[in-house]
Amino acid sequence: MKKRNIVIHFLVLLMLIATIAACASTRTRESAGDYIDDSVITTKVKSLLAADDFLKSFQISVETYQGTVHP
């Protein structure tokens, strides 16, 4: 019975570690939180460009990666 509890605790710990590792960011991949933050920044920049009478006539593409805006 004690051995069974140890195995169950080990499996639960392993699942938690795997879940946390899957959400972590790397150099080439953003985490879920980073993606949401970047989409908020992109939306703000696009809305400011659309509000400007001169700039809204241009086709300006905006992307954000790890907090940096790229035109």
Tracing tokens 């949401």 back to the chain, one arrives at 36
Tally Cβ neighbours within 10 Å of residue 64.
20
pLDDT tens over the chain, length 71 residues: 788 888 888 889 888 887 776 666 666 677 777 888 888 999 998 888 888 888 777 888 888 887 888 87
Please tell me the predicted confidence (pLDDT) of residue 26.
Answer: 63
DSSP string for 27-71 = SSS--HHHHHHHHHHHHHHHHHHHHSTTGGGS----EEETTEEE-
> Within 13 Å of residue 23, how many CA atoms lie on the same side as its CB?
9
Q: What are the domain boundaries of the chain?
A: 2-70
